[in-house]
Amino acid sequence: MNKQQLFEQIQRKKSFLCVGLDPVLDKLPKHLLKYEDPILEFNKQLIDATHDLCVAYKPNTAFYETRGVKGWDTLVKTWKHFPKDVFTIADAKRGDIGNTSAMYAEAFFNQESSDMSFDSITVAPYMGKDSVSPFLTYEDKWVILLALTSNAGSQDFQTKQSEDQKLYEQVITTSSQWAGSDQMMYVVGATKPEEFQNIRRLAPDNFLLVPGVGAQGGSLSAVCEFGLNSECGLLVNAARSIIYASSGEDFAEKAREEALALQQEMEQILKSANLI
């Protein structure tokens, strides 16, 4: 999915919601345990209940890898269940020397190799250009580079000042030379709303993947005040507040209610910004 197609989906669905699929077996509704693959059934029902309200899904691969071969199979089958009109994010946070990154890229982008072809992957920038470039060789695939994350520990490195820039600012400035806004996104946490104006100065046209709204306490309105651009430019992720809205047999229905509330708020924001 290219940038124009993504914006068209946002306009059509009146939403820039991304649903994080981070399932933990112990937290699943108990009635799902009768299925051969409870996590897959959980994901499928969530997708079926929310796909008209969101434009993206983001499975965090660690929640699947922890279950070994069976978990990887669940991830593949989850990817296959995604509708064609949603943007898919492999939240894998990869990044290594060039030949290793090339293998990571093949694992998540090459369906012939791995049986999956996500639209994008999250990448750690610490090892520099040659660790990111292999992901950028795939046409219409995206790198979502970690810039300013929502966790408390982000202050340990990301906001440290070096010469005239903070580290996360250097990440954005330097990486913007590797790819344009049609292939590069940035992760910016909703818990850092005061930084969005500065980030938009550095990356005016890029999409931002924004975790931290919902269970982590980030404010959607605060993010949008400075984060929106002329193509929306935001994918706001919510995971726990949606997927664990209920632990009963009505979990998918309650997940839809949570997603609908966010979608309706996003619709009003898009209308106020004259984007729909």
Residue type, 238: A
- Determine the length of the chain: 276
Q: What are phi and psi of 184, to 5 degrees?
A: -120, 125
Tokens of 201: 């100065």
Q: Name every residue whose Cβ is closer than 8 Å to that of residue 195 and which is 6 or more positions away in sequence.
A: 148, 188
Q: Which helix (H) or strand (E) holds 10?
A: helix 3-13
Output the CA torsion 144→148→149→150 (10° steps): -130
Exactly one of 34, 44, 77, 93 is catalytic; name it: 93
Distance CA 276, CA 269 (A): 10
Residue type, 104: Y
Q: Are 223 and 190 in contact (CB under 8 A)?
A: yes
- Annotated active-site residue 93? The verdict is yes
Distance CA 206, CA 208 (A): 6
- Helix, strand, or coil (residue 186): strand
Q: Name every residue whose Cβ is closer than 8 Å to that of residue 130 and which is 6 or more positions away in sequence.
A: 97, 98, 101
In this structure, is the dihedral angle defined by the CA atoms of residues 84, 216, 15 and 275, taken in order, positive or negative? negative
Any idea which residues carry the catalytic annotation? 93
